[in-house]
Amino acid sequence: MELWSKEVWGIIARVALMLLSSSGAARGEPCRRPLVSALPPAAFSSSSRASGSHGPAFAKLNRREGAGGWSPLSSDPYQWLEVDLGGRTRITAVATQGRYGSSDWLTSYQLMFSDSGHNWKQYRQEDSIGSPLTCVVLHPEGGPSRSSLWCHKKDMSTCLQALPGNTNADSVVQHKLQHPVIARHVRLLPLDWNPHGRIGLRLETYGCSYDSDVVSLDGRSSLLFRSSPGPRRTPAASLSLAFKTPRNSGTLVQAEGRSEHSLTLQLQGGRLLLLLPKGRRPVSLGSLLDDQHWHHVSVELRGDGLNLTVDSSSLWVRLPPRLAHWDHAQVSVGAGRGLASRGHFRGCVENLVYNGLNLVQLAEKKDQRVTVQGDVTFSCAEPVSVAMTFTSAQSFLRLPLATEAPTTEASVGLHFRTWNEAGLLLTFDLPQREGVVWLYLSGARLHLQIHKAGRAPLELSAGSALNDGQWHSMELVSRRGHLSVAVDGGEGATAHASPPFLIAVGGQLFLGGCPAEGSRRLCMNPFEAFQGCMRLLTVHNQPLDLIPVQQALMGNYSHLQIDMCGILDRCSQSHCEHGGSCRQSWSNFHCNCSGTGYGGATCHSSLYEQSCEAYKHRGNTSGYYYIDVDGSGPIGAQLMYCNMTEDHTWTVIQHNNTALTTLRPAPGGGRLSAHFEYASQDDQLAAVIGQSQHCEQELSYHCRKSRLLNTPDGPLLSWWAGGPGDGQVQTYWGGAPPGSQQCSCGLQENCVDPRHSCNCDADRGEWAHDSGLLTHKQTLPVRSLVLGDVHRPGSEGAYRVGPLRCHGDKNVWNAAFFDQETSYLHFPTFHGELSADVSFLFKTSSSSGVFLENLGIRDFLRIELCSSTEVLLSFDVGNGPTEVAMTTAFPLNDDRWHHVRAERNVREASLRLDELPAATREAPADGHIHLQLNSQLFIGGTASRQRGFRGCMRSLRLNGVTLDLEGRAGITPGVQAGCSGHCSSYGSLCQNRGRCVERTSSFSCDCSSSAHSGAFCDREVSASFKSGTSVSYAFNEVIGSSGSSSVSSDLDLRAENLSLSFRSLQSPALLLFVGSSRREYLALLLNQHDMLEVRYRLDSSRAADILRSKVPNLADGHLHAVVLSRRAAAASVQIDQNPKEDFNLTSDVEFNSVRSLVLGRVPDSAELDPELSRLASVGFTGCLSGVLFNSVSPLKAALLHPDTSPVVVTGPLVQSICGSTSADPHAAGTRHHLSGQSGSVGTGQPEVNAIRRDSALIGGVIAVAVFVTASALAVAARLLYRRKATRRRREGKTPKPDDNGGSSEEHKEYFIQEVWTETEPPCFTVKKPAEHRPAEQRASQLLSPVVCRDCTRTPS
């Protein structure tokens, strides 16, 4: 039997397979027939055999002949068993069994497949970069060792994908392949075996025959198919084929028709390119397609696009309607024409089917529609080249060279491919070991380095970017004293030198690296080891056969795979998300996330918060922020304005025309329309509106003899469209309900003409307007506006569509309270196969509990509180349970909110708690990557109802999607919707004596006892004073809800706390005066020496106590803060950061019958002593900010609550930012806000702050003009101050009052004030986009600025 020739048994095997498959097909059986049991002994081969009775031919399942199976001579990972199936066969499963009646069986093994018996391909499951792994450590000296442990990261490159074996010698373990494999040869490599026995194996493979039509093209030949005359337009068409090639470029298929109906498939750099008609960008898919293995390609035309598939990867390409069908006159296979052609294809093509026609079969049958050009054979003859894979840093190959090189000529060459920038290719000694030669990669270039004793090192370099994964050739030639190193046949550059010594290749040649410690006398490698593939090794122009190395007949090696190239393209599967770019090494890949707005190992997690509400609760104040509404989801981040007020946190989204815009009659008397383009994309707008509790948009129309909606039963004159996409037509106006065809005055029944539902519909000759807010979220935002009554003589109109404004994030405060350990919420299965991120906030008084759990058959995902200081993320994706723990130095059961963020992806798992650094754990480089879950998702507990969480959870997001905890809690026993107690966590955000107030969802800061305003009581309330400005606050009235504490009419004080900030160039000057009805007072002033004085007169019969600070130069125009405190007779003053100064009063200790507090000029100063009376009448010129007297804020009351506070203001008082430490008082601007108010009839024309016709150009011109004006005013103000300061230094600082007690003209202060409201972002707040933002985000920042009336400055 063993004498049979392979040719004879091959014919027999084919016949047997055909009979078996035909029999199975006749009965309709699936493709799982035994393939090995009927094979002759010649079909089996192995690395070795223990004896004749242990030979490979006895390795048939359930057979007992011979020794009952195959066993090699020695049990080590060098061994293999191979089966030749006689022809290419579809293999669907493999079964293994131990050697009969023995203790010999495999516990794990690896499968390899091949068509030719060379160039093996490792079987890999699709749900892994590798699969369950076994570490194999090979030692060149002595025997190999093995380990069944899981691979660590550092060992991953030596790990092979393992399939489970047996647990005894008799049972059969079958492994169904995840996808069928087409191959002729099957090779099984033992990885681990029974530790009390040796390698023993019987096996079977299952499958069926495989029929194919193959053509071999030699790089000059091709096929040309011409379609039959007649209609060719096919709206549903397809093209499919399989190919294998050793070249990385060439044209596979080119289908040609009319110019717009061409299609080309070609290889470029080992990737498949789909070229579409001119003007369409090429599409690329696949990688490393020149590996001489079969690759399957299909192109399907379906509907409005093409579906391109290469092996297991697919890509959808959308096409314009004109290309939604194929109209091809001819199809060329293996050759292409035109500038885009990459040359002829060299290799094999199989089963090429074009619209149901097998073109290879037609060519073989000599169909007249197919023309054969060149030398074409209908079989696949592939060249044999034995490659080898250097898998790890311990890899090397030692080859003894039997003969010395000729003295006048020596050469060595090889081909290599790698992803690493560095690594040793080869090294050898010079004759008589007088030196050493190294050829290595560094910086992705090829370097030659020769060290010879007594001479300077010789160094050459050539090539570049040699770590691109492509095959590159290298040749070192020494001929007659001339040395050259060539890369890619000279195309990648050649370096030359003329060394004065002999270069010869002989003795020992080491490739890839050197043996371990102890062998340095033979080989020394000062560089990194090579990881990659090599082939076509030549010495002195003679090829070296590596098969004897594999058979242990020549040389030795370690961590080497022979007769295969195991390179993987880890970037081809696009694990880098959100546009991140991928870079890889041999054993791993890295995602560059710069410019994407996302971070993490795979650019999965957003760098930005998902709403303005989330930014607020991190302590951020109003401003522009990037908002990523769906976190790690597909919607990108967008720059939006967050206006954080005391009541709400507004998200403001601008569009291209928020100005009040006048109308010009259209030519021909038609309707006028305006379209609004928003700074955010449609999906971003929809997400913001959907997650907000309230949205609104102002819509106003100013009219004179211009009707708006007309009567309800009359023809519709105007309308607007709003909502998703282009919007739906709406027939109501701002302030009215949807579908009402009314304005707000019609709803309130106060229109100027009761017969109409809008003021403008009265058609009067005086100006009127209809304004209001649109609040129905389903109709927002406003997309377009159509106005119809603007063409009549005398008709005038102006419209305004404000920005979209939304507040309240329904997701941030979506919470549930779990009051029992057995309670939980359940949701559908979480699908986070490749990337899973989970974020939530929790607060609890318990020390343990499970937050979240989802189970699969083997896989699981769990996040739990393990102890009062530890949170644990644990999961299993098939590589064994993995844990990432986060331990804190503070308790987590403190009943305060804590933020948990967990992520698991193909690169790593990370866990972050609050603002602590993340804990991470890298994933195996070649392990399972899919997280496969199938149970319900349990929140707050587990399926076993044990170890449940007791406490609150909120804002639970999984892959950017918020789970509705409140909705599910409303129908679940033991769980309550919502949580309280937010101030315990966020109360510290309330500053400057602000008080945290609990709300049902969220919290707010009560600033009534603070001199500041804003969402966190952090905004300075400042005003600029002129000499005639006076602010008087009366204490003899009971204050209602003015924003200050209530006080009685008879106020006696034994203590005061006073704080304020000021900025001025005036001295002396009275800053603040508190008077009483008993002629007692408190005065705070700057004296003539620019120093602070506090004057207390608490006894009207005695002179005032004067407390003088020693801090100098306070009238210098800079901001200074003053804190005054008195307790009975003890007083203290602190200025800025200077030390506190203590004083004692000598008069009474009680301030009786306090009547009023005055800032600026004191109207009634007759009863004061002459010096103080003079200062009181002069007034104060400068800035006052943050004035707080005990719990009273007089300046805040005057500016923000003038109608409800006991305050009287005389003279000019303008709110300003002059109290800000960053403000420049010499160059301030003006901001105004124009908002339409609902009303009836006005007497004048509306003020139009910008005449826009939806033109960004006009807005830009206005912006430039305003900026130039603001700059000029700033420079002028600066010069005025410098000039004035110079004059004051010349003339002294004491003011000279005129006859009326006022100051002379030359001592006036000039402040250009800045005023804005909190309803919209400041005008012209357009920042320069950061360069690291994505292009679409940078462009969004360059929209037309928000133009406000009378703007004269562009804030920085």
Task: Give, for 1161, the enclosing helix (H) or strand (E).
Answer: none
Q: Which residue has the tokens 């010499």?
A: 1226
Least-confidence region, from 336-340, 660-664, 788-792, 947-951: 336-340
Q: Which residue has the tokens 């690395």?
A: 47
Note the pLDDT of residue 982: 79
Note the pLDDT of residue 1338: 37
CB atoms within 10 A of CB 1164: 13
- Which residues in 463-490 are b (16+ Cβ under 10 Å) and which e? beebbebbbbbbbbbbeeeebbbbbbee
**What CA–CA distance (Å, rounded) separates 575 from 1319?**
43
Enter the tokens of residue 858. Answer: 């083997």
Note the pLDDT of residue 1047: 40
Q: Per-residue pLDDT tens for 115-135?
A: 999 999 999 876 544 433 333
Task: Quote the percentage of the chain above a pLDDT of 70.
Answer: 81
Parallel, antiparallel, or unpaired for β 1207-1210 and 1182-1189?
unpaired
Distances (CA, A) of 766 to 478, 702, 769, 794, 1239: 101, 10, 10, 11, 14
Asked whether the beta carbons of 939 and 953 are under 8 A apart, the reply is yes
Note the pLDDT of residue 407: 60
Residue 1093 has pLDDT above 80, yes or no: yes
Note the pLDDT of residue 1015: 84
Phi, psi of 241 (to 5 degrees): -170, 170
Residue 1350 has pLDDT above 50, yes or no: no
**What CA–CA distance (Å, rounded) separates 375 from 393?**
45
Of 541, 431, 408, 540, nearest in space to 481 by CA: 408
Burial label for 739, CB within 10 Å (0-12, 13-18, 19+), is exposed
**What CA–CA distance (Å, rounded) separates 414 from 474?**
6
Asked whether the beta carbons of 1301 and 1177 are under 8 A apart, the reply is yes
Is 29 in a helix, a strand, or coil? coil
Burial label for 1103, CB within 10 Å (0-12, 13-18, 19+), is exposed
Note the pLDDT of residue 467: 94
**What CA–CA distance (Å, rounded) separates 240 from 294?**
13
**What CA–CA distance (Å, rounded) separates 437 from 423?**
14
Of 550, 439, 430, nearest in space to 500 by CA: 430
Is 153 in a helix, a strand, or coil? helix
Residue 9 has pLDDT above 50, yes or no: no
Alpha-helical regions (H) of 55-168: none
Distances (CA, A) of 64 to 40, 102, 167, 711, 1346: 16, 11, 19, 100, 89
Asked whether the beta carbons of 958 and 837 are under 8 A apart, the reply is yes
Rg (CA), the chain: 42
Asked whether the beta carbons of 1338 and 649 are under 8 A apart, the reply is no
- 78 pLDDT tier (thresholds 50, 70, 90): confident
Note the pLDDT of residue 572: 84
**What CA–CA distance (Å, rounded) separates 220 from 699?**
71
Note the pLDDT of residue 338: 62
pTM: 0.75
Least-confidence region, from 555-559, 922-926, 1153-1157, 1336-1340: 1336-1340
- 668 pLDDT tier (thresholds 50, 70, 90): low
Phi, psi of 1173 (to 5 degrees): -65, -40
Residue 58 has pLDDT above 50, yes or no: yes
- Which residues in 586-616 are b (16+ Cβ under 10 Å) and which e? bbbbbbebebbbbbbbbbbbbebbbbbbbbb
Distances (CA, A) of 549 to 55, 553, 560: 21, 6, 11
Burial label for 987, CB within 10 Å (0-12, 13-18, 19+), is middle
Distances (CA, A) of 1100 to 148, 215, 531, 626, 1168: 97, 117, 95, 61, 11
Q: What share of the chain is helix, strand, coil (3-state, %, to 5)?
A: 10, 40, 50
**What CA–CA distance (Å, rounded) separates 21 from 186?**
19
Sign of CA dihedral 742, 744, 749, 752: negative
Enter the tokens of residue 999. Answer: 């709300």
**pLDDT, mean over the chain:** 81
HSE of 564 in the Cβ direction (CA atoms, 13 Å)? 18
Q: Per-residue pLDDT tens for 641-664?
A: 999 888 889 999 999 999 999 987
Distances (CA, A) of 796 to 556, 639, 701: 95, 36, 10
Is 967 in a helix, a strand, or coil? helix
Residue 760 has pLDDT above 70, yes or no: yes
Residue 1251 has pLDDT above 90, yes or no: no
Edge-to-edge strands of the sheet including 145-147? 145-147, 133-137, 159-161
Three-point CA angle 1303, 1309, 1315, nearest 5°? 130
Note the pLDDT of residue 383: 79
Residue 878 has pLDDT above 50, yes or no: yes
HSE of 655 in the Cβ direction (CA atoms, 13 Å)? 26
Which one-letter DSSP state was computed for residue 6?
Answer: H
> Which amino acid, 1188?
L
CA 726 to mean position of chain CA atoms: 29
Phi, psi of 219 (to 5 degrees): 95, -5
Q: Which residues 6+ apart lie within 8 Å of 320 measured at CB?
A: none
Of 653, 692, 706, nearest in space to 676 by CA: 653
Enter the tokens of residue 984. Answer: 């315990």
- 230 pLDDT tier (thresholds 50, 70, 90): low
Q: Per-residue pLDDT tens for 1142-1182?
A: 999 987 788 888 989 999 898 877 678 888 888 888 889 99
Identify the residue with better confidence: 277 or 819: 819
Q: Cis bond leading into 246, ω under 30°?
A: no
- 299 pLDDT tier (thresholds 50, 70, 90): very high
Residue 1356 has pLDDT above 70, yes or no: no
Q: Which residues 6+ apart lie within 8 Å of 495 measured at CB?
A: 448, 460, 461, 462, 484, 485
**What CA–CA distance (Å, rounded) separates 1107 from 163?**
89
Task: Give, for 61, the enclosing helix (H) or strand (E).
Answer: none
Residue 966 has pLDDT above 70, yes or no: yes
Note the pLDDT of residue 594: 92
Least-confidence region, from 320-329, 529-538, 799-808: 320-329
Which one-letter DSSP state was computed for residue 201?
Answer: B
Edge-to-edge strands of the sheet including 263-268? 283-285, 271-275, 263-268, 250-257, 328-333, 222-226, 370-373
